[in-house]
Structures are given as C-alpha cells and as structure tokens.
Structure 1
Amino acid sequence: MDCLIRIATREDAIAISRVVIGALRETNARDYMPAIIEQVEQSFSPQAILRLLTQRQVYVATIDDHIVATASLDQDVVRSVFVNPSHQGQGIGQQVMAMIQSAAVSGGVKLLRVPSSITAEGFYASLGFKKVRDEFHGAERTIIMEMGLEQ
C-alpha cells in the first residue's frame, strides 16, 4: 500500500497517540497483560508525544492525509514503531522502517538497535535484526535486537 512518510509535527500528536494506543490495545494486548498495556499507554498520551517530538526524529505514515503509522529514531535506537491495526500487514511498517534506516545511515549510525515488544520480534527479524538479549522491566519483557547498517 502506498503511503506518504514524513517528519511528524506538533499538530500530529493526537493522531499519533491514537495510532499507538489502538495498536497497544488491539495487537500488543495479545502478548501482554492489561496492566502492562495500561502502563505503556501512559507514555503515549498526546502530551507525551509532544515531548518525544523534541527528543527524537519522529516520522508518520499517512494515507489520504490520515496518520496510519509512526516510528522514531533516537540516535541509534529505533523507538515507538506502531501501525494502526486496520493497516497492519500491508507493508506500511516496512516502509516506515526503511525511512528510519535511511535516516540512521545519513546520521552515521553503524549499528541500529531496537527494544522490541514480544509482538514485534518477528517483524524486526524479517527486516534483518538479530536478538541480542531479553530485558525485563517489572513484568514487561522487551527483546533487544540489533542490525548492522551499510554506509
């Protein structure tokens, strides 16, 4: 599916929050208990998104001017990759990740890392990321993955 990928703006904060929370509740909820989903949601309120916009390179994917996905790059770490559940499986996540990888290469990153959810581990593996280790934050399991980048 063709989508436009661009840098996020402050005006996108509410729509980004909706995409993330929708994906958490519908997709990630298959792998995480409700208490963990609720805890993670707190990091993606519109106000939290506004803060992230000042700290990371945040991208959005749009279809017909509607935000359907988001991802961000925090130096050499991929963060907050979410696709609206109704648009998952259509290649949008791959397109957003291609933009993230391009931005990382442009920034001189040689090793790209991602703290993956259980839900997204297969997605990142399909892109060439390799599992390094598991991390636990309370009951929340995160899979640390990495991939070398060609300069």
Structure 2
Amino acid sequence: MLLRRATAADAVGIGQLFYDTITEINAAYYSPEQVGAWRGGWQNLAGWQATIQAQHFLVAEADGALAGFASLAPDGYLDFLFVSARHQRQGVARLLLHALLAEATRLELTLVYTDASRTAQPFFAHYGFQVEREQHPVVRGVALLNYRMVRPVAAPKPDTAF
C-alpha cells in the first residue's frame, strides 16, 4: 500500500472513487434519492483540485489503483475519508486515518472533528471519536443523516531518552 499526498492530477480518480463508494457502499444506509444528491458533485474537478490544494489531502494506492483518499483541513476538520468498494476491510481507512491524526499532531491541533455518515460512524467510534450530535444537512434539496464526531488529538509522548 502506497500512501502519498494527492495532486491535481488525482482529481478525476478521486471524483470517480467518491461516486463509486457512495453508490456501492453507502447506498446500503441511504435512500436512492439521498445517494443521488450526495454523489451529485463527483465530476467537479475544479472543486476537487481546490480541496487538494487547501487541505492535507492523501491518497492510498494498491497495485497501482486508487484504493482510498482522505483529507484534513487546517482547523482539524476531517473532510473526506473514502475507500473503494474493492479495498474495503483491508486497513486502508485505518492507514489514512492514522496519517491524518499524525498530521493533526504535527499541526499541534487539540481536536479533530468530522461529519460521519451512517456508514462511517462505527469506524470512527472504534478509533475514539465521540458523537457530539446528529445532523440532517440538506444536499441538493435532499436531507441526509450524519453525525458530528470529535476526537482529541493525543499529545506526543515526551522523549524520555537522556
């Protein structure tokens, strides 16, 4: 598994993985109308490229294929964490999350927060995120369900070597 910073050239693949994951994985938890609204902006290359530029945006590759992506905004907002249907339950999300938490520590953030889908809420809970509140954002005129989840960033352990 290769983990690297995303580039503008990754935008097409990121958009496609976003679309595919919502369609193939998240559809188990959301209605067809909700899935359609959520995945609606997947072809917005300028939007993906702007997010790649503005955030700590990582991609995971397996055998030359895009396996997942994740991003962290400078304020500690974990904006994206998506894994392709072919790479579910292979540690991709864990690898991406740990890399973003390491970045949060490097940035000396005290808290990381996210808006987790029904699909992702158990994953985040497993890694120490707590539900702060249930939310019903309206996307393209359709109400979705997600959870604002927060997690303190663990302080780095002091160097005890003398």
Q: Same fold (TM over 0.5)?
A: yes
- Indicate the residue corresponding to 2:50 in structure 1: 51
Q: Secondary structure at the match of 1:150?
A: coil
Structure 2 residue aligned with 1:137: 137
Shift of 1:39: 1.7
| Greater Rg over alpha carbons, structure | 2
CA distance in 1, matches of 2:134, 2:10: 32
Q: Which moved more, 1:53-62 or 1:114-123?
A: 53-62
Aligned 1:18-29 pairs, distance under 5 A? 18-29=16-27
1:63 aligns with 2:67: no
Whole-Å separation in 2 of the counterparts to 1:45 and 1:126: 32
Alignment partner of 1:105 is 2:105: yes
Correspondence 1:121 to 2:121: yes
Matched, 1:40 2:38: yes
| 35-44 or 4-13, which deviates more | 35-44
Structure 1 position 146 matched with structure 2 position 150? yes
Mean CA deviation greater in 39-48 or 72-81: 39-48
Separation in structure 2 between the aligned mates of residue 60 and residue 123 of structure 1, nearest angstrom: 19
What is the percentage of aligned positions where both structures have the same residue? Answer: 24
Matches of 2:7 and 2:92, distance apart in 1: 19
Unmatched tracts of structure 2, length 5 or more: 156-162
Q: Deviations over 1:55-75 (max 9, x none)?
A: 222110011222110000012
Aligned pair count reads 149
Residue aligning to 2:83: 83
Indicate the residue corresponding to 2:160 in structure 1: none
> Hey, which bits of structure 1, 4+ residues long, moved more than 3 A?
none
CA RMSD of aligned residues (A): 1.2
Quote how far apart the aligned CAs of 1:46 are: 4.7
